[in-house]
């Protein structure tokens, strides 16, 4: 997991001569995650590009889209569900626990192929066979970017971010 400065400070305060074990250099993406970027100026142009990309249901069969906040996640969900009805769900901290669990389950089972989320699910969840992770906005912290794109390319599968 990513070692934050706060956690590192706690470790230094409470442990005597702790040892660090590195599996990969922190902030290094996996080789099996292909990364592509698009320079897009505004929300609706991004939505149009997103619609164009995810219209290819064969290639974009299981897509996780990260929005910067709850408001934008809901706004983006409304735009996506209009174009792709019954294919998407949204998850963020304002949704009830049952709603969040149901959304994750529907996405994992393939009942919904598009999941729009905030960083509430960027860490700790093993979402099966996500083909694409799309960052609708680039996160402020590089470690958040690494956690987001790490939702694809799992278990030696290829992934695209």
Q: In this predicted model, what pLDDT tens digit does every residue of 85-123 receive, in sequence order?
A: 999 999 998 999 999 999 999 999 999 999 999 888 777
Greater pLDDT, 36 or 141: 36
Q: What is the pLDDT of residues 5-44, one digit of tens each?
A: 788 888 888 888 888 766 555 555 567 899 999 999 899 9
pLDDT for the residue numbered 35: 92
| Domains of the chain in sequence order | 27-160 (3.40.50.300)
Residue 28: partners with Cβ closer than 8 Å, 6 or more residues away: none
- pLDDT-based confidence at 2, cuts 50/70/90? low
């Amino acid at each position: 997991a990513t070692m934050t400065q706060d956690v590192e400070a706690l470790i230094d305060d409470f442990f005597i001569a702790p040892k660090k074990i590195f599996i990969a250099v922190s902030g290094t993406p996996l080789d099996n995650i292909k990364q592509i970027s698009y320079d897009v100026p505004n929300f609706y142009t991004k939505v149009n590009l997103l619609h164009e990309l995810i219209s290819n249901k064969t290639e974009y069969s299981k897509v996780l889209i990260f929005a910067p906040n709850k408001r934008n996640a809901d706004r983006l969900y409304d735009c996506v569900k209009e174009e792709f009805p019954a294919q998407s769900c949204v998850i963020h901290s304002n949704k009830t626990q049952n709603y969040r669990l149901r959304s994750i389950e529907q996405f994992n089972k393939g009942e919904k192929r598009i999941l729009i989320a905030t960083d509430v699910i960027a860490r700790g969840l093993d979402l099966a066979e996500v083909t694409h992770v799309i960052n609708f906005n680039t996160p402020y912290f590089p470690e958040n970017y690494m956690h987001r794109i790490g939702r694809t390319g799992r278990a030696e599968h290829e992934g695209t971010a």
